[in-house]
């Protein structure tokens, strides 16, 4: 009887050790690895940008790249004859023409529902 109590205690400690080792591996595969992939994709996007690309910045400013100012900065035209200089890292993504159409359709639908009320 005493021998069975000791063996279950040993199995319990092995299980606890396995669980302790499993947690860091789980964190790596569910948190760190996807974040690294996302960061790599963002860096590839920023490296591929060029003059004429329509982009959105991390602060939500939409514009067209009109020039490069060194390796780490762009000139961004945000309105007719209005340009700002931004860091390459501040660009969140490209804007496709389909995105603009969807936003316009959403705005029109919201306006129509507001008029109906």
Burial of 39: CB neighbours in 10 Å, binned 0-12, 13-18, 19+: exposed
Average the pLDDT over each of 1-10, 49-58, 77-86 and give the range with the smallest value. 1-10
pTM: 0.59
- Site of tokens 């319990």: 12
Give residue-wise pLDDT tens across range 61-106: 999 999 998 888 999 999 999 999 999 999 999 998 776 555 544 5
Task: Please tell me whether residue 64 adopts helix, strand or coil conformation.
Answer: strand
């Amino acid at each position: 009887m005493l021998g069975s109590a000791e063996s279950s205690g040993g199995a319990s400690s092995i299980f606890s050790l396995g669980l302790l080792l499993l947690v860091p591996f789980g964190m790596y595969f569910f948190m760190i690895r996807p974040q690294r992939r996302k960061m790599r994709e963002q860096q590839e996007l920023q490296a591929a940008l060029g003059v004429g690309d329509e982009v959105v910045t991390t602060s939500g400013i939409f514009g067209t790249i009109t020039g490069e100012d060194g390796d780490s900065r762009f000139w961004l035209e945000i309105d007719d004859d209005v340009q700002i200089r931004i860091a390459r890292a501040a660009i969140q993504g490209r804007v496709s023409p389909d995105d603009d159409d969807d936003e316009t359709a959403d705005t029109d639908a919201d306006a129509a529902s507001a008029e109906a009320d």
